[in-house]
């Protein structure tokens, strides 16, 4: 154990020092709290570092020992150390630390959550296994729960809809992310193409609806909900493909199917073009407007068109049919929509061709151009039901990207995209609290000890730096492997790749193995003590 020589009175002095000077953000406690007699909480590692400074005149540093070692040492001196446990707030929500610590970061538990809220777009960069994806989920849970907890698994199914994950790769493109043409089977069995939204545009559409609904009055929301009820009732009560509707010109047609976006109709009197897909949203907007549409020209004027389309005559007929049919639905009562935050996580963001994937959205994601001030026309806008409709990213959308700087198979960000993201570097020891998932304090302590020693040796290699150090997530494999298996199957191959082509590769690997604690016997058997 590398704990410095300190006494109980040194720790008491350290607590007074911390009361006067506070705790730097990087030294906040993640797993344990030292609880004083008056109920105050302190980070054990930082307490030990300060006590060492006061007693021995050293620089305040938490290097060289871990949280488990600090806990054991302070308990040996008679101090109470508590594991951070979930507490219940008065409203029933769960929290993982005192309320005061939550407020320290603008209402959130995690300082990175505040960074994301401030910047809108955040890139977590760092060495392999530093817990970038792990931290991204914690940030998402922290923000979605409004600081109540930072465990993604505690989010409800409804809350998880406010988070989306995607992993970039070299083949990923604009059509996957924003929109593109996808093959579809037509009514007659032939193959055609249909414009479909990509994963990001779908996600933003949900966030945008929430944003726009949150700006509406309760009266408007109730009106729209009632209209939706009437539309649902109308389409539920007709026999698809059988019941006929007439246009103003007397042309008969039937509704064959209805989905979230389209009303598909069959026109038996048209021998050439007898199938048509109508926009469900257009009819909804007509009903919600409160306008009295008496002729097709009224629709043309309403949508700002210079001439009517073929679809408008059928829109008009369905609009009239819904208006004519008296709804039996009871009055809908609802409440004001709560503005929610939506988190989009892009893992390995630099593995894709960023400019190609985002396309013109690089402008819309700019924090300074969120909302309608940054609305743009997408590449396929001419194929939209309303070609003049613009796309924008609302203020309630936040983007987290993770990237590994040393991945030699990918290109770096171009400057246009880079300036739209806030970059935060994660060190190898940033997310050590994830090792609590091992469920064994001794195993956790040993893992931290070996990781620290190995990373120190990596830093001693001239051509390597902190970006090549090993993160804690690798050591989660100890749930099924022993230390030697972790070395031979995962760490050794990775490190061999790092130093490939360097002078004295074998010597460097031997130093790495020794620092890690991997010892190969003369007979060729590995050390299986752990």
Query: Model confidence over 145-162: pLDDT tens digits?
Result: 988 888 899 999 999 999
Mean pLDDT over residues 360-378, rounded? 89
Residue 386 covered by a domain: no
pLDDT at 97 over 60: no
Residue 141 in this model has a pLDDT that exceeds 70: yes
Q: Do 96 and 44 touch, CB atoms closer than 8 A? A: no
Last residue of a domain, one of 68, 84, 100: 84
> How many percent of the chain have pLDDT more than 90?
45
For residues 468 and 508, the answer to whether their CB atoms sit within 8 Å is no
Query: Which secondary-structure segment (H or E) carries 182?
Result: strand 179-185
399 domain-assigned = no
Residue 42 lies in a domain: yes
Confidence of residue 464 (pLDDT cuts 50, 70, 90): confident
Answer with the residue of higher pLDDT: 527 or 164. Answer: 164
Contact 490/432 with Cβ under 8 angstroms?
A: no
Q: How confident is the model at residue 330 (pLDDT cuts 50, 70, 90)?
A: low
Per-residue model confidence (pLDDT) at position 373: 84
Among 42-56, 140-154, 263-277, 488-502, the range scoring the smallest mean pLDDT is: 263-277
Does residue 417 sit within a domain? no
pLDDT at 61: 82
Domain for residue 501, yes or no?
Answer: yes
Q: What are phi and psi of 357, to 5 degrees?
A: -70, -45
What residues are paired with 422 via a beta bridge? Answer: 122
Reply yes or no on whether the pLDDT at 249 is more than 80: yes
Question: How far apart are alpha carbons 279 and 55 in whole angstroms?
Answer: 75
Percent of the chain residues past pLDDT 70, beyond the cut? 89
Domain boundary (60, 84, 108) is at: 84
pLDDT value at position 140? Answer: 96
The pLDDT value recorded for residue 408 is 52
- List, for residues 285-305, the tens digit of each pLDDT value: 999 988 889 899 999 888 888
Q: What is the CA radius of gyration of the chain?
A: 30
Q: Is 445 exposed, middle or buried (0-12, 13-18, 19+ CB in 10 A)?
A: buried
For residue 107, the model assigns a pLDDT of: 75
Of 324, 356, 374, the residue at which a domain comes to its end is 324
- Looking at the DSSP bridge assignments, the partners of residue 391 are 376
The verdict on residue 23 lying in a domain is: yes
Is there a domain that residue 90 lies in? no
- How confident is the model over 198-211, as pLDDT tens digits? 999 999 999 999 99
pLDDT band, residue 96 (cuts 50/70/90): very low
**For the chain, what is the domain count?**
3
Interval 95-111 mean pLDDT: 57
Q: What is the pLDDT of residue 94?
A: 41
Q: Which pLDDT does position 100 carry in this prediction?
A: 43
- Mean pLDDT throughout 12-23? 87
Asked if residue 225 has pLDDT above 60, the reply is yes
Residue 319 belongs to some domain of the structure: yes
Q: Which residue has the higher pLDDT, 193 or 475?
A: 475
User: pLDDT value at position 217?
Assistant: 83
Mean pLDDT over all residues of the chain? 85
Classify residue 269 as exposed, middle or buried by CB count within 10 Å of its CB (0-12, 13-18, 19+): exposed
Q: What is the pLDDT, as a whole number, of residue 85?
A: 52
pLDDT band at 333 (very low <50, low <70, confident <90, very high): low
φ/ψ of residue 275, rounded to 5: -130, 140
Domain extent, residue 470, equals: 432-516
pLDDT at site 510:
94
């Amino acid at each position: 154990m590398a704990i410095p020589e300190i006494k109980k009175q040194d720790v008491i002095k350290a607590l007074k020092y911390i009361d006067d000077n506070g705790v730097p953000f990087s030294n906040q406690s993640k797993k344990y709290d030292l609880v004083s007699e008056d109920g105050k909480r302190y980070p054990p590692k930082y307490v030990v570092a300060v006590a060492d400074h006061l007693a021995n005149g050293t620089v305040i540093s938490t290097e060289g020992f871990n949280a488990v070692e600090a806990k054991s040492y302070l308990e040996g001196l008679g101090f109470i150390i508590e594991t951070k446990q979930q507490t219940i707030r008065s409203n029933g929500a769960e929290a993982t630390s005192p309320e005061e610590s939550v407020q320290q970061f603008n209402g959130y538990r995690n300082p990175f959550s505040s960074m994301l809220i401030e910047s809108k777009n955040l890139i977590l960069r760092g060495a392999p296994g530093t817990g970038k994806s792990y931290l991204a989920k914690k940030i998402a849970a922290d923000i979605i729960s409004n600081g109540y907890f930072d465990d993604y698994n505690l989010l409800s199914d409804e809350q998880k809809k406010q988070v989306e994950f995607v992993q970039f790769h070299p083949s990923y493109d604009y059509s996957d992310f924003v929109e593109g043409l996808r093959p579809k089977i037509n009514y007659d069995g032939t193959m055609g193409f249909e414009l479909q939204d990509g994963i990001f545009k779908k996600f933003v559409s949900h966030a945008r609806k929430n944003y726009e609904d949150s700006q509406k009055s309760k009266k408007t929301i109730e009106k729209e909900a009632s209209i939706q009820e009437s539309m649902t009732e109308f389409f539920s009560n007709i026999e698809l493909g059988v019941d006929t509707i007439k246009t103003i010109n007397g042309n008969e047609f039937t509704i064959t199917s209805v989905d979230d976006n389209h009303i598909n109709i069959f026109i038996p009197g048209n021998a050439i073009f007898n199938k048509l897909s109508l926009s469900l949203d257009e009819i909804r907007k007509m009903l919600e407007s409160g306008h009295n549409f008496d002729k097709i020209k009224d629709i043309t004027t309403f949508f700002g068109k210079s001439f009517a389309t073929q679809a408008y005559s059928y829109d008009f007929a369905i609009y009239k049919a819904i208006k004519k049919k008296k709804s039996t639905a009871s009055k809908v009562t609802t409440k004001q929509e709560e503005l929610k935050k939506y988190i989009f996580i892009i893992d390995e963001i630099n593995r894709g061709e960023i400019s190609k994937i985002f396309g013109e959205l690089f402008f819309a994601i700019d924090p300074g151009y969120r909302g309608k001030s940054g609305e743009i026309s997408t590449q396929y806008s001419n194929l939209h039901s309303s070609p003049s409709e613009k796309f924008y990213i609302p203020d309630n959308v936040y983007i987290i990207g993770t990237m590994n700087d040393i991945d030699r198979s990918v290109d770096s960000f171009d400057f246009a995209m880079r300036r739209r993201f806030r970059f935060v570097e994660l060190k190898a020891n940033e997310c050590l609290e994830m090792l609590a998932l091992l469920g064994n304090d001794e195993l956790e302590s040993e893992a931290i000890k070996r990781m620290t020693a190995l990373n120190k040796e990596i830093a001693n290699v001239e051509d390597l730096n902190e970006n090549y150090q090993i993160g804690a997530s690798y050591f989660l494999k100890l749930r099924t492997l022993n230390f030697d298996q972790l070395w031979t199957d995962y760490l050794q191959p990775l490190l061999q790749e790092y130093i490939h082509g360097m002078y004295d590769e074998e010597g460097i690997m031997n130093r790495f193995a020794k620092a890690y604690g991997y010892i190969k016997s003369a007979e060729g058997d590995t050390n299986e003590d752990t």
